[in-house]
Amino acid sequence: MSVPEDLIDYLDGQTSGVSFARALAMPSIKAPYVVVTQHDRDRGRTTGTTSPVKVTHLELECWHTNTSSAESLANTILGLLEDFTGNLTNNSPTTDVMGIVISNEHDGPDSASELYYYAFTVQISHR
């Protein structure tokens, strides 16, 4: 499994009534939902040795029918991610998280879908 898939499995198991999508939500998905998009993965390499620690950069968009509900959903997800360390899932192999940095929090509307989002970036350091 990949880091985005492990993260979706973890969040899905910790929430109820929320749908999750990777990279793109299909038109049939109903709010509330969270879209997880991977942007980048870094691997450190120095003096001919590759570090076992990788850093995966993801954007999470929390969508709901109004701004306060979108922010509330985001706060639930943020609460699950803040200070998280350990295995994201019971899958083998799993993503062993060493730390998470949360940044770039922002919100806004999508007038075409009449939905609102609260989005943020997470950097997951993992093995």
pLDDT digits (tens, 9 = 90+) for 31-75: 999 999 998 777 666 677 777 889 999 999 999 999 999 999 999
Per-residue pLDDT tens digits for 101-118: 999 999 999 988 899 999
For each of the domains in the chain, give its residue range(s) and CATH number, in order of start: 3-126 (3.30.2000.30)
Q: Residues 115-125, buried b or exposed e (16+ Cβ, 10 A)?
A: bbbbbbbbbbb
**Calpha distance 34→25 (Å, rounded):** 8
Q: Is 110 helix (H, G, I), strand (E, B) or coil?
A: strand
Judged on CB neighbours under 10 Å (0-12, 13-18, 19+), 62 is buried
* The pLDDT value given to residue 44: 67
Q: What is the pTM of this model?
A: 0.90
86, pLDDT greater than 90: yes
